[in-house]
Structure 1
């Protein structure tokens, strides 16, 4: 991973902002650290954060670690898989929505309209379900069929994923994709997983990256927003 340094000389994103570190030629600003502290619930929105405080330095170290890990993930091209692209796009859309609320909605929409929108989002969240899935990705249908045969003989899914999966992003974690909602999954995954219970083996089916075999680890209700 690339080294980082304190300070920087890029253009500040906010008036009066201050560069506090540089990671892989990218500047970290005091506002970035404050935003992370707010996101973690360490300070309130609009509350000041002294850049000389222990809290600021601790959160700054966390932001630096995040930048380094993200840079390494990009170097390994972990961001190029269809699932990663869907997750990144979903995150981007949430951020843009938050920015709209911050800049426009709170000025132009009544409290009642905001409450109605929140109630609808809460209703949808209560009905949404997260699925934890493991993946074994093969180049060909024949390879995927062979995986099914090996699993049918009692081999552990995680062990087979580590040995045979071509998906470098998940291979060494036993194929673990973590929890996702169907709306951020590739459509082929969402269709294949529909109504499949925990413990079910799904596939093989064709995806953009090859032939997928999935195992449903768990299903749970998505945590509603607060």
Structure 2
């Protein structure tokens, strides 16, 4: 069967090559344009029309078309024989071997169809409901916090009970001013257990003392002390923080950010266009789900065992318990000896 399929493919290839070689006159630049339904080549029971050749060539960048020949006539003929005819030969060979019945091939076909449908919905959405300047402006105003940020400073801190402890830590850091030593001290001695495990790293702090850590807000005195040193410098004296004292290290700073509407308009248009397309996809899915989904039994996926490492176990039979054994582990013994 396989030998017969190969012979058929070779015969079809020879026929297609001869056909492709004979179509030069109909594709010459100086000739009159061919009718859209004119058959340029036949491969098995499939045909390639002049309109198909024109459509496919239009999708190829000019620099890439140059690889098919030096003249327009040569480019067209080689594109047909090397690309379009080859595609049909391989497609018919796959059909002859019934590859479309394979599960992995069906997955890929579904993926291509899904992508094509989503692309069409996006194009239709952009044409039927384009994003307006008013929508862009309204989005910008409603999300100003995403397009601007105040100046911020990154701080590391060790919080201790007394000034003497803070001074001793500063003296130690002057001997060994390395990030690793600071982190070790913070993990060992800092009274702020929310940040000690991170080596005292408070992250970036805003001018109002707020941080990315929920519930963590620094007192104004700490920011004032940090403002007197440069990036990468330790604050030379212990900084009072309530009834405790902090050792501060200013790691780096971040300049204020302010993006104008004009700067953000292109990205906002993309966000809004994507949202409109997603709304249409949801409407389509809701309609198709109500129309086509039946016999849905999601609880049956419980028959598939997935280990903690993400490995799949063989399907269990209904009514059996999930196996807790590791792959390759011996089966448990049930005798009472």
Query: TM bucket by the smaller chain?
Result: 0.3 to 0.5
Larger Rg: 2
**TM-score after normalising by structure 1:** 0.42
Taking structure 2 as the reference length, what is the TM-score of the superposition? 0.29
Is the strand fraction higher in 1 or 2?
1
Q: Looking at secondary structure, tell me which structure has more helix per residue.
A: 2
**Greater RCO structure (CA 8 Å; 6+ sep):** 1
